[in-house]
Amino acid sequence: MPAASPSDFSFRVDHTLPNGLGRTGTITTPHGAIHTPAFVVVGTKADVKAMLPEQVAACGGQAVLANAFHLYLQPGPDIVDAAGGLGAFMNWPGPSFTDSGGFQVMSLGVGFKKVLAMDVKGLENDDIIAPGAKRNAVVDDDGVTFKSPLDGSRHRFTPEVSMQVQHHLGADIMFAFDELTTLMNTRHYQEDSVERTRRWAQRCLDEHARITQTRAHHPYQALYGVVQGAQFEDLRRAACRGLLACRAVLPGHEPESFDGYGIGGAIEKQRLGEIVGWCAEELPADKPRHLLGISEPDDLFAACAAGADTFDCVNPSRVGRNAAIYTADGRYNVTTAANRRAFGPLEESCDCYTCQHYTRAYLHHLFRAKEILAKVLATIHNERFTIRLVDNIRHAMGSGDFGAYRDEFLGRFYAARTTTD
């Protein structure tokens, strides 16, 4: 087998919007291509909750993302490596991502579980912690010490450990270990955190280059640096420039930079497009950009217009498991009384497996009866809805109809909310 090489990973821009930021393109990985913009389905623990990998593919999923933190704790990266890597372990043949665990460290530290977008006016406080939570992670300049949420055991993550874990997990695309802040952190702390993340990024790049040499018989794994800086334009731009300056130098090799870039951290929802745009203006046009943790329709349109190429979020499956159904006419709960005798599909004209074979009344019954199948069928629909939406955005960008499609879709999707506000 030829030695792994950065040339095994590439990105090509196919079409650019008139604003010079939004674009369509193709990411090529050792396990296949990703046509962008693309929604990456989250399979946190090497599984997409309530879905088979074959169902993810049938929904049009091009790639999956697993969580390095959770797989480090269980079953352990050595087991995933021995199985042939993440894709072989979970029977997913296509491209895969692993995140670094930064979100979980933040969550353990301050107790905020799922939502980073929040109203925080007047609440800036570096000692903030969610009501009823305990601080189970402590950040220092070298790394993070945390307690396992599984058994309370103590562990240590550093940039080097994160790279070692992610290399053993074997995904096509990895993220540098970063410190994720919340919007509640003060400006001073955000400044320190951006610099800490930059130093960690350089250490990740160095360790990535070293490990790639020692694991040359494995497919090449691309490494993305992660941009932090919260809602501050100067910090976001400085974070981008700091990552661009990072280089790994090994004897006999050309200096290596990051293969792509992640845009992370807490982002004010109403400013999402603006913040992504700052980063896109600073980052190189010939490398892909991944926006971590979004899936709401308005956020997807804003991010695509501003230059993000791929996205991931647990939301479609998480809300689906709780009976919330996405449609072109907005989101509804299938357990309401109105659906008890509704013998049509979850969404008219939807091409997903659930809508082709089952009715609202049937899912209403399954959820009321607390049957596992309810979660499966609802998740299939929501994942297909989100994947199809981003696919349609990509096609509209390529055809020159992006603005018209955005206005039509969002006007319809949020119409009910507008009339009731």
Helix residue ranges per DSSP H, 39-138: 53-58, 68-73, 77-82, 86-90, 102-110
Q: Is 127 a catalytic residue?
A: no
d(CA 247, CA 240): 14
Check 81, 172, 309, 312 and give the catalytic one.
312
**Which member of 99, 259, 299, 309 is catalytic?**
99
Q: How far is CA 163 from CA 158, 180, 224, 366, in A?
A: 9, 17, 11, 43
Compute the distance between CA of residue 219 and CA of residue 3 in angstroms, rounded to an integer.
Answer: 8
Say if CB 207 and CB 163 are below 8 A apart: yes
Which residues neighbour 122 within 8 Å (Cβ) at sequence distance 6 or greater? none
In whole angstroms, what is the distance from residue 128 CA to residue 149 CA?
20
Contacts of 268 (CB under 8 A, 6+ apart): 117, 183, 231, 275
Where is 205: in which H helix or E strand? helix 187-214
Q: Which pairs with CB-CB distance under 8 Å and at least 24 residues apart come from 334-341?
A: 334/360, 334/363, 334/364, 334/367, 334/378, 335/364, 335/367, 335/368, 336/364, 339/363, 339/364, 340/364
Mark whether 99 is an active-site residue: yes
Catalytic residues: 99, 312
